[in-house]
């Protein structure tokens, strides 16, 4: 993204002239205090919001001025995971994952195979017919990951995916995200989880009051003096 500024109604400057380039296949942590602008940055990538100024390129295309009918094409390239999972409560695990393929109009003949593969990857083949409220938090987050990666996205955007999970479950989620990254998906993850960032030693981009204040290869959660 180039020179991106996002001002919310009420003159709230969430991002202030941000330049950030992420290479294909990279794994990037976005860190910073609450309110720094992390979620805003992520949502610009999947066009959950549009910038007030500046340009956002995904796969070589400026997505700021996409036509409405072009948005589904963008979303096919991007999987998203949220802290609160955002599963559909009245649909089974299987249907939650299948839904991600239905909305992008994937060929029906591919759906069952892809959903089965994704559920197997996250270790939930045995829970396919459960409803989300019959699962633990960690299991629900694994369903959300299966849903986000079922279409083999170019980019996976994860907003505090371990936010409500115990350390061991969080480590399992991170192992899954690492696997996804190893298979070529770019992963961009906002987090407050210091232990995870320090252990993984990936690229760390720190935001403070809407500005990038640090960008380190193999970084840590806090700046090392
Ligand atoms: N829809 C909105 N309308 C108005 N202001 C908003 C909106 N969304 C976010 N903001 C403001 O923009 C700023 C950045 O918010 P953002 O959600 O990006 O922060 P964050 O870094 O993700 O914080 P957290 O760690 O708490 O999730 C904050 O001041 C927030 O209050
Ligand atoms: Mg946030």
Give the residues of the chain that fall short of pLDDT 50: none
How large is the angle between the packed helices 137-149 and 108-121, nearest 10 degrees? 140
Q: What is the pLDDT of residue 192?
A: 95
Ligand 2 center from residue 24 Cα (angstroms): 23
The pLDDT tens digits for 112-163 are 999 999 999 999 999 999 999 999 999 999 999 999 999 989 999 999 999 8
- Please tell me the distance from the alpha carbon of residue 193 to that of residue 183, in angstroms, as a whole number: 24
What atom of ligand 1 comes closest to residue 32's alpha carbon?
Answer: 21
The pLDDT tens digits for 138-149 are 999 999 999 999
Regarding the beta carbon of 52 and ligand 1, being less than 6 Å apart is answered no
Instruction: Judge residue 216's burial from the number of C-beta atoms within 10 Å of its C-beta, 0-12 exposed, 13-18 middle, 19 or more buried.
Output: middle
Residue matched to tokens 């991600």: 100
Ligand 1 center from residue 38 Cα (angstroms): 8
Closest C-alpha to ligand 1, atom 2: 8
Closest C-alpha to ligand 1, atom 3: 8
Residue 191: which of 214, 157, 216 has the closest Cα?
157
- Provide the phi-psi class of 36: left if phi over 0, else alpha when psi is between -120 and 50, else beta: alpha
Cβ neighbours of 100 (radius 10 Å)? 25
Handedness of CA 177, 112, 127, 97 (dihedral sign): positive
Report CA-CA distances (Å) from 197 to 31, 127, 138, 161, 177. Answer: 9, 30, 19, 13, 13
- Please tell me the distance from the alpha carbon of residue 83 to that of residue 213, in angstroms, as a whole number: 24
Q: Quick check: 88 and 140 in contact, CB under 8 A?
A: no
- Nearest ligand to residue 43 Cα: 1
Q: What is the pLDDT of residue 137?
A: 93
What atom of ligand 1 comes closest to residue 40's alpha carbon?
Answer: 18
Q: What is the pLDDT of residue 225?
A: 58
Ligand 1 center from residue 149 Cα (angstroms): 26
Which residue among 7, 15, 39, 205 has the greatest number of ligand 1 atoms within 8 angstroms of its CB, and so is best to mutate?
Answer: 39
Closest C-alpha to ligand 1, atom 25: 34
């Amino acid at each position: 993204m180039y020179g991106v500024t996002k001002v919310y109604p009420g003159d709230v400057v969430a991002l202030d002239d941000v330049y950030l380039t992420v290479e294909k296949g990279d794994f990037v942590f976005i860190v910073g205090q609450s309110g720094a602008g992390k979620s805003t940055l992520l949502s610009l990538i999947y066009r959950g919001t549009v910038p007030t100024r500046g340009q956002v390129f995904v796969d070589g295309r400026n997505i700021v001025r996409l036509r409405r009918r072009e948005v589904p094409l963008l979303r096919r390239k991007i999987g998203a995971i949220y802290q609160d999972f955002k599963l559909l409560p009245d649909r089974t695990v299987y249907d939650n994952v299948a839904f991600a393929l239905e909305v992008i109009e994937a060929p029906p003949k591919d759906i069952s195979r892809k959903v089965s593969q994704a559920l197997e990857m996250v270790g939930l083949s045995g829970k396919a017919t459960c409803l989300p409220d019959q699962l633990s938090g960690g299991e629900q987050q694994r369903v959300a990951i299966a849903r986000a990666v079922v279409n083999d996205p170019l980019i996976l955007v994860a907003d505090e995916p371990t936010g409500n999970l115990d350390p061991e479950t969080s480590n399992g989620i991170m192992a899954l995200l690492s696997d996804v990254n190893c298979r070529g998906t770019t992963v961009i993850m906002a987090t407050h989880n210091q232990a995870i960032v320090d252990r993984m030693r990936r690229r760390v981009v720190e935001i403070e009051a809407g500005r990038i204040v640090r960008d380190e290869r193999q970084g840590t959660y806090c700046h090392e003096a």
